[in-house]
Structure 1
Amino acid sequence: MFWIIHGHEITILLKSTIFNSNDAADWLTRWWALFTFSSSVSVDTFFFLGGILLMYGFLNAKAKKIPFDITVFYIHRYLRLTPAYAAVIILYMTFFIKLGTGPNWKTANQGFQNECKEYWWSSLLYIQNFVNPENRCISQTWYLSVDMQLYILSPLILIPIGKWPKITPYFFVVLVVLFTVIPTWVAWHFEIPALAMMADIPNWHFIYYAQVHTRAGPWIIGLVMGYILFQTKHKKCRMNKIIVSLLWFLTAVVMLYIIFGNYPALDDNFHYSKLYNSLFIGLHRNLWALGLSWIVFACIHGYGGPVNWILSLSVFQFLAKITYCLYLIHKAIQYYNRGIVRVPIIFSNYTILKSFFSTTCLSILIAIIWVLCFEAPFVVIDGVITKAVLSLWKKATPKKELKQET
């Protein structure tokens, strides 16, 4: 989440009025700029984690003989995501535009208000990646649309796996291959470069970035990992130390290459290869998810070492509870900061650092308020609804069994 904030922070800084624009242009050719513009794979981390939790939760419920009620399944997801999201939309539609002033204020923020007034309904229906992909209300929430659409489609995967477990390996292989080939073909057809985040591509979100068929790969791999974790949860997985070391080495190399490997493409004289760029676009998100798969598997089964120690720190429990609201609210603060500026910005690494930390700290404070006001109460309501449905099912089950016996 911090990586996403960092990426958005620099993107917004670059859209501001910059005093030393030549220095900013030079910064974009440095290798460390790739850390920023490769931050989109952090979104694939969320898709991956979503897939793990969905599959693991489904199999766990099935093992406990809890029925799969598709209505409750969808209501639970909608109540989980929408209240805090709707609160931000209402903020944008109403008095956010009145919170600041400055020569850049309307230029920076009027678009948010206009787009939310016109397309609030497509946001709350989670279809804005199809209806208004380039004019989104709360621009970063394209992810919510894709995530919700994957969730809606997930019973097409979960139910067959639940009924016919023997087909699971073949089913997963077909899905992983399919959602590797599709983004590769899209990249080939539209000639999307590997550093697409730095390129100006028309209809970028509609063509590739915010579509289910091009972003489903890491989510599918997350489903696979959730299945593996459930099947191995009571088993001790013994692995050779050499193999463990090799897997950690390969994971580090592949993930670092995904972030920094396209450094030569920053050179103006770099020769574009359609084949390489298409393969990179098609493969890199799935390879990122495979790297994450090893990290998760290794940490759970005792091969994580210091990585497991870091990821198990209790501070992440607190941060995990506010991550969703942090994701929703941080860009409002970034655009507020951009709008109230009255003098050109001096672009430097120190400016980036200062801006990032100030945004992050303030976003965390507001996210805590947002959780307490708009997220936590509806989590309780969702829990009450789920328990009520389960209790009704338990009461109905003995009656059905009695009828069958008679």
Structure 2
Amino acid sequence: MKLLTVPIFFSICSFVKCSVNSVTPSISSNEISDNRLNKSQASESNGSEKSRQPVKLNMKQGLLMNQLLAMYTLGEESNQLCKEHSKELNVGLRALEPWALKMFDSSSKLQAGILEGNLFEFGAFQQCIQIYRDTNHGPIRGKFCSLKVKPDMNLLQKILEFRNVSRRRFSKVYQFVSNAALAWSVCIPDSCSTQDVFRHFSKTFYSLSEGLNVTVSLRDKDCVTIFDDKPLSATELSIIVFLLGFIGVVAVASLLHIFYFTSDEASDSKLVSAFSAYANSRRIFSNGPNSDLDCVHGIRVLSTCYVVIGHRYLMLMFFPVVNSLKIMDWVLYYRSTAITGGTLCVDTFFMISGMLVSVGFFSEVKKSHGMNWVLFYLYRYMRITPPLAVVVLCYSTLVHHLGSGPVWHEMLDILQKPCQEYWWATLLHVQNYVHPFPLCMTQAWYLTCDMQYYFLSPLILVPLWKCPVFGYINFVLVYALSIASNFYFAWINRYDGGVPVTNQLFSTHYFQHHYIAPHTRAATYIIGLGVGYTVHKTKGRTIQINYATVASLWMISIATMLASLVGCHTFHEESHDYNRLEAAIFISCSRSAWTFGIVWMVWACIHGYGGPINYVLSSYLFRVLGRISYSIYLLHMLMQYLMSGAAKMPGYFSDFSALYAAFGDLFIMVVIGFAFTVCFELPLIRLVTMALKQGHAKVNPSKE
């Protein structure tokens, strides 16, 4: 019965507004308009004293009004100004003054769908922080605070029983609900401190939930006023000037290139061509000669799209939705494995990267009979890092000016704060060991691993070049060591099969010490190095395979990839008992199994057995999109975080809403990715190329 007291009480309180307004004289639209100008708002507050007289209420309405005021106006304030402003709010609500009604209206009332997981009541953030009232005790402005009411595990387990979540399955969904908390938003005068707010509302919540074990919390960063929107600092202004100046150089170079230069490669126009948006756009849209590896463009683009879609699903899991508990049911459907098992697309990137590095390496040593190792390492680092540095710079400085909202500061703790402290680890590509949580640019963990693999790739490539027999043995041993390392860490840490489905994914031990760890993810990159060596050795050769064998290999590869993708579903089923050996084998081998399917796809396309698949993957559209895929990869999570963190109301989780948003992300990111590639990525790469390769033999490692 005590559990029902809370919703009944708040339902009554939320009804008071309608009850009171039914006996209130009508208020003109001009009086309640949302005018931000302080002068007009101040003039609204200078009405006659008669307008401040409380509205006449009957006994029941008066009783409810007293309960409402006891709930939403503070008591026992720590400073005199807060006490006076709370009295003003009390008087204003009794007189139904517009500014006071806005303050009450901005605060939470008990929402529907709590048993569906609608735990975050956003209130009216923007309305609250724009409130202004001039009084004899100084101006009153709105302060928006979000309190967290967290139940203990026993209470949470009882609530989940309403959704037929058995105690056995509770252990499987524990990670998803372990940090569940009811978020309650309130709007109070900004003169009141966080401690005043916490003292009043925690006392209220504890009295209403007597007999239930709940914990109420409120941090300083959970309270926001209009003054929290800080002006640009000198450093931020300098960065904006630098970025605009860089774009200005691109614009000037574009005009010079169009009107004064005709050849991109002329000695007097190389620098202009490097910055010219016109020249760089032509490079993106150029058709170019056909290559045996053209199918890689399509695989890269589709994998990038897969990543963007998967991260959109993550945003719906990380940020408030009205039906968050629906995700527990969604996991039980096989269709969910397209997302929960979709992390395999990252292994596609690793395989392709390793293959292209290997092909480039053996082509260079065959042509030059040697390798310029300084250029080998330096070019790769300078190819990847400058565009990454531009994005990290924006993460570290400008991001907090791009939005606001009830969960904005929580989002900044994940998005901006790590880059402010550990930007150097990201640019040195060591953050997966130095600071695995939270990561600066979450998706940059892949670039970190890929750079580390690239630096270590000669341990496999040089033996294959100098002594093939020893190289084959070395290749097999290194690959086996990677699989063994993956199995060992999965075994000793008792990881369940697949990636955990939780809104706390990035803070899990599995993500920090296994998913992004180079020593457990290297197997698929090593496979790529071997495939690149094979492609180099068979270049120009015709390999005859009968159609029955080709069809069989296609079916085997598809079946293997599907098994790797949907295999994680078993580990989410309630009836499935944890098996340590089974989980460790799946974790250590499923990514390689998926990659072998990709290997056959690439090999078949190269040697003429790809059919329509090769035609599609090698199409001109994928060539164009492939050239901007790096920029899309760098920027897409920034946009997704900003959109989710600045939300003023919770979302809704479903496959349709996720895919609808994801395809919107893709469309926007193609536009933004193209602009970033033209204005920053290609100019920086061209400058690096001109600086490093002048007077040296051309090295051609892969472009990520």
CA distance in 1, matches of 2:599, 2:548: 18
Conserved? CA contact 1:80–1:375, under 8 Å: no
CA distance in 1, matches of 2:548, 2:479: 28
CA distance in 1, matches of 2:413, 2:551: 53
Conserved? CA contact 1:129–1:205, under 8 Å: no
CA distance in 2, matches of 1:5, 1:385: 34
| Matches for 1:5-404 after TM superposition, within 5 Å | 5-65=308-368, 67-198=370-501, 202-390=508-696
71-80 or 342-351, larger mean C-alpha shift: 342-351
Conserved? CA contact 2:463–2:474, under 8 Å: no
Shift of 1:165: 2.6
Gaps of 5+ in 2: 1-303, 700-704
Matched to 1:303, the amino acid is Y
Conserved? CA contact 1:100–1:336, under 8 Å: yes
Shift of 1:167: 2.2
Match of 1:399 in 2: none
CA distance in 2, matches of 1:351, 1:205: 26
The structure with the larger Rg is: 2
Conserved? CA contact 1:7–1:36, under 8 Å: yes
Q: Secondary structure at the match of 2:694?
A: helix
Conserved? CA contact 1:180–1:283, under 8 Å: yes
CA distance in 2, matches of 1:14, 1:194: 20
Conserved? CA contact 1:21–1:347, under 8 Å: yes
The alignment of Structure 1 onto Structure 2 pairs a total of residues equal to 393
CA distance in 2, matches of 1:311, 1:220: 23
Matched to 1:11, the amino acid is L
Tell me: CA distance 1:391–1:268, structure 2 relative to 1, closer, same or farther (3 Å): closer
Matched to 1:142, the amino acid is W
Tell me: CA distance 1:40–1:133, structure 2 relative to 1, closer, same or farther (3 Å): same
Q: Secondary structure at the match of 1:139?
A: coil
Percent identity at matched positions? 33
CA distance in 2, matches of 1:333, 1:276: 38
Tell me: CA distance 1:127–1:178, structure 2 relative to 1, closer, same or farther (3 Å): same
CA distance in 1, matches of 2:673, 2:697: 34
Matched to 1:175, the amino acid is V
Q: Secondary structure at the match of 2:443?
A: helix
Matched to 1:84, the amino acid is P
Shift of 1:389: 4.1
CA deviation string 1:35-55 (max 9, x = no partner): 011121111111100111011
Conserved? CA contact 2:396–2:420, under 8 Å: yes
CA distance in 1, matches of 2:307, 2:398: 26
CA deviation string 1:28-86 (max 9, x = no partner): 22111110111211111111001110111111111112531111111111111111111
Match of 2:127 in 1: none
Shift of 1:25: 2.8
Tell me: CA distance 1:53–1:360, structure 2 relative to 1, closer, same or farther (3 Å): same
Shift of 1:161: 2.2
CA distance in 2, matches of 1:157, 1:149: 14
Matched to 2:657, the amino acid is T
* Structure with the larger helix share: 1
CA distance in 2, matches of 1:391, 1:291: 36
Conserved? CA contact 1:109–1:335, under 8 Å: no
16-25 or 316-325, larger mean C-alpha shift: 16-25
324-333 or 359-368, larger mean C-alpha shift: 359-368
Q: Secondary structure at the match of 1:264?
A: helix
Matched to 1:160, the amino acid is P
CA distance in 2, matches of 1:67, 1:202: 45
CA distance in 1, matches of 2:663, 2:444: 22
CA distance in 1, matches of 2:450, 2:698: 30
Conserved? CA contact 2:496–2:571, under 8 Å: no
Q: Secondary structure at the match of 1:197?
A: coil
Matched to 1:315, the amino acid is L
CA distance in 1, matches of 2:650, 2:657: 12
381-390 or 119-128, larger mean C-alpha shift: 381-390
CA distance in 1, matches of 2:416, 2:367: 47
Conserved? CA contact 2:387–2:684, under 8 Å: no
Matched to 1:267, the amino acid is E
TM-score, normalising length: structure 1: 0.93
Shift of 1:203: 2.6
- Any runs of at least 4 consecutive aligned residues in structure 1 with deviations exceeding 3 A, and if so which? 199-202
Matched to 2:626, the amino acid is A
CA deviation string 1:227-266 (max 9, x = no partner): 1111111110011222211111110111001111232322
Conserved? CA contact 2:495–2:510, under 8 Å: no
Shift of 1:20: 2.1
Conserved? CA contact 1:134–1:203, under 8 Å: no
Shift of 1:286: 1.2
Conserved? CA contact 1:60–1:230, under 8 Å: yes
Higher relative contact order (CA 8 A, sep 6+): 1
Match of 2:121 in 1: none
Matched to 1:285, the amino acid is R
Q: Secondary structure at the match of 1:268?
A: coil
Match of 1:397 in 2: none
Conserved? CA contact 1:80–1:382, under 8 Å: yes
CA deviation string 1:133-184 (max 9, x = no partner): 1121111111111111111112222222222233232222222222111111
CA distance in 2, matches of 1:161, 1:389: 28
Gaps of 5+ in 1: 394-406
Conserved? CA contact 2:405–2:645, under 8 Å: yes
CA distance in 1, matches of 2:697, 2:372: 13
CA distance in 2, matches of 1:293, 1:284: 14
Shift of 1:386: 4.2
CA distance in 2, matches of 1:105, 1:339: 5
Conserved? CA contact 2:460–2:475, under 8 Å: no
